[in-house]
């Protein structure tokens, strides 16, 4: 199942979630009304019996009022929780007691975690998520939360950091990235909000029964008012159990099969089944995965079960997950592993692992890049392979230390973005530095100059990864500052009177990530349009791509564009769109194309790849433009290794 099919399946599951929630609410309303009617019937005189129809008609107002009150409690609870989670994944991590991993941390375990997450993000073609550690959790667990890739957060427990080696930690992070890339996070966070209303009823039932437990039977005997209070307590208790039943059932329905798929995706990411299998084995022998904080509410989004003894488990049994990865696994191996973990848990030294990783990178063959083949790209989207992960690790390792520190610092990240846009021509660069001083102040201009002095010109292949690495730091800046930065970026781009492809790509990726992060719940991976509704916009997009791939050969550009149109099932065009004003036209086209259905986006991506590979030559401008287009259209593009992706790739 590819990225687009996963996204489409998640949208359908969201609809089923709403149906299941409605059924749960109806069941709760039925029980509440039944008990209320039984109480009312018991209070009526027996000497005047009435038919069921007359009884219901007499108490219709009570039924309506009871239904409205109960439904309001559930609805308000769900709405409150949903609104409280609008801040995205970081909100969930903070509420569970997580602490952000400092970009400049000297702790080798946290440094290892940051490296693993950054490598996975860059390999996947998504912004680096916020990274958290649940300091007070000894169990081995992790989760990813958020509405989209722009507001995602990855959190691991302290127990996972201290117990897992790098390979196992990478397997766990790869599992969580599968949830990020395939739309599971959005469903998870909606599940938290929707089910909270039902759980509110459960909490009310527990609290009310706790109160009535302390009411003396002697004081209540013969007292109708007190008996009514007890009846309400019993009702709320029943409602609470029904709520817990439905909540756990819905979570189990939604979660269990996804965990097998995410495990399989983690194996595909890393090509090391021993990593995630080792993590699952250590959960079995090293203290489990139980969370102290809110396992009931977040159990469906964890790497492994966060609570014990629940009626419906949100995860398959650990042994089943291990055997799905290692079919010949013998449970007797647990005994040896348990002894090994007991003796060596504290002996896992991150510094030695880092040294081993660097040695592996030094001696490993250069990883092959992702070939620009449409079927391969679609298959890899949302599931980057080991080649992309190794390439990302090499990229991260090659980032100059001053630029890495700037990307991780909220005080330097905006200045890093400005630095990436500086023109090589001195006169234009001076005008740009003056713009920085006007918009951000003299101190910011000084910081940009410092970066320029330390690294006069960043390597072209590092520019987009640096932006992705800087995004968690940018997210922590106030919204007004981000608006100022976006306006400044546009001015810096137009300082020389033209817009090149990299400038356009950086600006649009930054703008899209900021917009999604500021309104994560409003960020949708797909819409309702079909390709037939956006033929003009598709023609413009393919024409602009073809022009940048064959800027000196209009006939080749027309042939490439028509090849893309053919892949869309559209008629060939007789001439190329006018290249003038392409940035504004591309903005307008992408705005409508982002509203395509998921499977229509898959077809569009196929056409994009056909266009830029037509004629057997792919130029860097096309690859950068493809990355920007995919970011705006919410299609995470895996890392492309330009040196390997096409033997004839060259400048135009």
Mean pLDDT by 10 residues, the chain (652 residues): 63 70 80 76 61 70 84 84 80 88 86 92 88 90 87 91 90 89 77 77 66 52 55 67 72 72 80 86 77 69 67 75 86 77 55 48 39 68 74 86 92 94 92 94 93 89 89 89 94 91 89 83 77 90 90 88 90 83 90 90 89 79 84 81 40 40
Q: Which of 522, 557, 592 is the last residue of a domain?
A: 522
Cβ count within 10 A of residue 366:
12
Q: Identify whether residues 496 and 570 lie together within a single domain.
A: no
The residues facing 144 across adjacent strands are: 154
- The domain total for the chain is 4
For helices 479-493 and 413-420, angle between their N-to-C axes, nearest 10 degrees: 10
Q: Identify whether residues 516 and 557 lie together within a single domain.
A: no
Q: Identify whether residues 539 and 455 lie together within a single domain.
A: no
Query: Residue with structure tokens 């591309």?
Result: 586
185 in Cβ contact with 89 (< 8 Å): yes
Q: Which of 489, 522, 555 is the last residue of a domain?
A: 522
Q: Which of 225, 247, 269 is the last residue of a domain?
A: 247
Q: Nearest 5 degrees, angle CA 110-CA 132-CA 633?
A: 115
Is residue 211 one of the residues assigned to a domain?
yes
Q: Identify whether residues 550 and 633 lie together within a single domain.
A: yes
Q: Identify whether residues 496 and 542 lie together within a single domain.
A: no
Q: Identify whether residues 540 and 623 lie together within a single domain.
A: yes
- 176 catalytic? Reply is yes
Measured CA distances, 232 to 72, 209, 395, 538 (Å) = 17, 9, 63, 61
Phi, psi dihedral angles at 573 (to 5 degrees): -95, 150
Q: Which of 118, 137, 176, 600 is catalytic?
A: 176
Task: Outline where 2-131 has alpha helix (H).
Answer: 3-43, 52-58, 60-84, 89-95, 108-124
405 in Cβ contact with 412 (< 8 Å): yes
Q: Identify whether residues 606 and 475 lie together within a single domain.
A: no
Domain extent at residue 473: 400-522
Is residue 375 one of the residues assigned to a domain?
no
Q: Identify whether residues 317 and 168 lie together within a single domain.
A: yes
148 in Cβ contact with 132 (< 8 Å): no
For residue 142, what is the enclosing H or E element? strand 142-145
121 in Cβ contact with 127 (< 8 Å): yes
Q: Identify whether residues 160 and 149 lie together within a single domain.
A: yes
Length of the chain: 652
Is residue 484 one of the residues assigned to a domain?
yes
590 in Cβ contact with 512 (< 8 Å): no
Is residue 376 one of the residues assigned to a domain?
no
Single out the residue of 459, 466, 137 nearest to residue 303, CA to CA: 137
CA 577 to chain centre: 36
Q: For strands 130-134 and 153-157, give the pairing.
A: parallel
CA 437 to chain centre: 35
Is residue 408 one of the residues assigned to a domain?
yes
CA distance linking residue 399 with residue 328, whole number of Å: 42
Q: Identify whether residues 24 and 117 lie together within a single domain.
A: no
Is residue 372 one of the residues assigned to a domain?
no
325 in Cβ contact with 267 (< 8 Å): yes
169 in Cβ contact with 156 (< 8 Å): yes
CA distance linking residue 217 with residue 39, whole number of Å: 18
Specify the 3-state DSSP secondary structure of 479: helix
Q: Identify whether residues 197 and 83 lie together within a single domain.
A: yes
Q: Identify whether residues 425 and 572 lie together within a single domain.
A: no
């Amino acid at each position: 199942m590819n990225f687009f099919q996963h996204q489409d399946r998640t949208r359908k599951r969201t609809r089923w979630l709403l149906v299941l929630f409605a059924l749960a609410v109806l069941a709760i309303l039925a029980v509440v009304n039944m008990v209320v009617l039984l109480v009312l019937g018991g209070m009526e005189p027996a000497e005047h019996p009435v038919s069921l129809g007359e009884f219901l008609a007499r108490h219709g107002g009570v039924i309506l009022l009871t239904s409205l009150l109960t439904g309001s409690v559930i609805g308000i609870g769900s709405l409150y929780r949903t609104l409280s989670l609008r801040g995205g994944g970081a909100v969930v991590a903070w509420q569970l007691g997580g602490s952000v991993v400092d970009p400049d941390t000297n702790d080798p375990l946290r440094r290892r975690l940051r490296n693993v997450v950054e490598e996975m993000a860059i390999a996947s073609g998504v912004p680096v998520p916020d990274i958290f550690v649940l300091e007070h959790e000894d169990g081995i667990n992790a989760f990813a939360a958020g509405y989209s890739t722009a507001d995602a957060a990855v959190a691991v427990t302290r127990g996972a950091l201290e117990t897992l080696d790098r390979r196992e930690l990478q397997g766990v992070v790869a599992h969580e990235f599968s949830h990020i890339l395939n739309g599971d996070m959005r469903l998870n966070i909606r599940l938290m909000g929707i089910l909270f209303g039902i759980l509110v009823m459960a909490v009310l039932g527990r609290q009310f029964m706790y109160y009535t437990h302390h009411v003396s039977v002697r004081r209540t005997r013969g007292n109708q008012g007190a008996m009514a209070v007890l009846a309400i307590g019993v009702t709320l208790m029943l409602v609470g159990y029904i709520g817990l039943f439905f909540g756990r059932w819905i979570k189990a329905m939604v979660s269990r099969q996804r965990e097998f798929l995410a495990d399989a995706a983690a194996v595909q990411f890393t090509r090391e089944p021993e990593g995630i299998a080792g993590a699952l084995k250590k959960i079995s022998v090293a203290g489990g995965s139980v969370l102290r904080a809110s396992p009931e509410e977040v159990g469906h989004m964890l790497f492994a079960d966060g609570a014990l003894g629940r009626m419906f488990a949100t995860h398959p049994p650990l042994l089943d997950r291990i055997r799905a990865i290692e079919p010949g696994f013998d449970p007797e191996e647990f005994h040896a592993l348990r002894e090994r973990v007991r003796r060596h848990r504290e002996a896992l030294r991150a510094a030695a692992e880092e040294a081993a990783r660097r040695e592996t990178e030094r001696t490993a063959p250069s990883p092959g890049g992702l070939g620009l083949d449409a079927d391969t790209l679609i298959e890899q989207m949302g599931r980057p392979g080991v080649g992309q992960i190794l390439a990302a690790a090499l990229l991260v390792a090659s980032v100059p230390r001053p630029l890495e520190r700037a990307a991780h610092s909220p005080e330097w990240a905006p200045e890093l973005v400005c630095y990436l846009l500086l023109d090589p021509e001195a006169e234009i660069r001076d005008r740009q530095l003056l713009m920085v001083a006007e918009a951000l102040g003299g101190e910011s201009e000084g910081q940009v100059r410092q970066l320029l002095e330390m690294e006069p010109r960043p390597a072209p292949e590092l520019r987009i990864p640096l932006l992705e690495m800087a995004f968690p730091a940018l997210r922590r800046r106030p919204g007004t500052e981000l608006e100022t930065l976006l306006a400044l970026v546009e001015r810096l781009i137009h300082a020389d009177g033209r817009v090149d492809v990299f400038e356009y790509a950086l600006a649009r990726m930054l703008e899209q990530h900021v917009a999604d992060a500021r309104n994560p719940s409003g960020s949708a991976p797909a819409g309702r349009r079909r390709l037939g509704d956006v033929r003009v916009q598709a023609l413009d997009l393919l024409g602009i791509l073809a022009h940048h791939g064959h800027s000196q050969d209009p006939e080749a550009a027309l042939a490439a564009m028509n090849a893309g149109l053919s892949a869309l099932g559209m008629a060939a065009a007789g001439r190329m769109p006018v290249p003038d004003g392409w940035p504004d036209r591309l903005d307008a086209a992408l705005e409508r194309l982002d509203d395509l259905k998921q499977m229509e986006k898959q077809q569009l991506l196929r056409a994009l790849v056909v266009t830029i590979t037509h004629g057997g030559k792919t130029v860097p401008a096309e690859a950068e433009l493809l990355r920007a287009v995919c970011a705006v259209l919410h299609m995470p593009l895996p890392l492309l290794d330009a040196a390997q992706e096409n033997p004839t790739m060259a400048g135009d």
